[in-house]
Structure formats: structure tokens, C-alpha cells
């Protein structure tokens, strides 16, 4: 098991009429990034998925830095 900061879970929300409950924030961010990445021509699924999690991790790091500021 890795020690990846998954950002905890989202509260129950409705997004595009689909209930999302208990999904780790990291996975939510990755899914949002992936939605944009899949529109890139020539980008295979493996690469797009990897890049989506790179974006998600960057968003979590940015959020953590922002929360540390007074």
C-alpha cells in the first residue's frame, strides 16, 4: 500500500445527475483532468491516465501549500 495523499473523500454531491459519494479527491481530480486529456489526438489511454494522476497530484500539492498560508 502506498502513502499517496488522496486528499480524503468528497462529500456526497451530484455531478451531471450522477451521485458521487466517497470518491477520493485525488481520483476526482484525475477524472476531471482525464476528461480534457482524452481530447488530445494521438494520446494513448495509458499515457493519458498517467498524466491525469500527475495533474491530480499537482492539484493536491498546490492545495496543501495554499492551506498552509495564513
Whole-angstrom CA distances from 46 to 50, 53, 56 are: 6, 11, 16
Helix, strand, coil distribution of the chain in percent, nearest 5:
55, 10, 35
Q: Is the confidence at residue 1, as pLDDT, over 60? A: no
Domain boundaries, the chain: 13-68
The pLDDT assigned to 17 comes to: 42
The pLDDT assigned to 69 comes to: 66
> What pTM, to 2 d.p., does this model score?
0.66
22-62 confidence digits (pLDDT tens): 788 889 899 999 999 998 888 899 999 999 999 999 999 99
Q: Which of 3-7, 11-15, 35-39 has the highest mean pLDDT?
A: 35-39
Amino acid at each position: 500500500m502506498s502513502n499517496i495523499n488522496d486528499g480524503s473523500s468528497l462529500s456526497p454531491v451530484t455531478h451531471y445527475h450522477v451521485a458521487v459519494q466517497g470518491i477520493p479527491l485525488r481520483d476526482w481530480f484525475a477524472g476531471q483532468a482525464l476528461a480534457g486529456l482524452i481530447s488530445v489526438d494521438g494520446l494513448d489511454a495509458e499515457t493519458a491516465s498517467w498524466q491525469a494522476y500527475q495533474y491530480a497530484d499537482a492539484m493536491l500539492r498546490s492545495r496543501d501549500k495554499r492551506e498552509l498560508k495564513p
